[in-house]
Amino acid sequence: MQTKSIVRIKLLSSGDEHAWDRYVTQHPDATVYHRVAWKSIIENSMGYPGSYLMAYDNDIVVGIYPLFIISTRLFGTMGVSLPFVNYGGII
């Protein structure tokens, strides 16, 4: 009998940084911009709030999504993964 896998999504919180970066280090599609340090770099330099989402399956990280909410007069408000960076997105 096969058990069902339940993936849960949660926001990055204090203490999750090591698990985030370990997942980035091991994933072949990850870039340096996926590292958790970019969250504070973008928040502090651009003022955009970041919401880093982590997918867990049985307490193992199986996916990440760096997400920032940006507002501009021209384009309005939108969610963007890693603004001003060419490499990013869900992994």
Q: pLDDT tens digits, residue range 36-72? A: 999 999 999 999 999 999 999 988 999 999 999 998 8
Which domains, and CATH codes, for the chain?
Answer: 7-80 (3.40.630.30)
pLDDT at 63: 97
pLDDT at 32: 93
* Banded model confidence at residue 76, pLDDT cuts 50, 70, 90: very high
pLDDT at 83: 87
Confidence check: pLDDT of 91 > 90: yes
Concatenated DSSP letters for 24-54? HHH-TT--GGGSTHHHHHHHHHH---EEEEE
pLDDT at 1: 61
The amino acid present at 30, given as its one-letter code, is: A
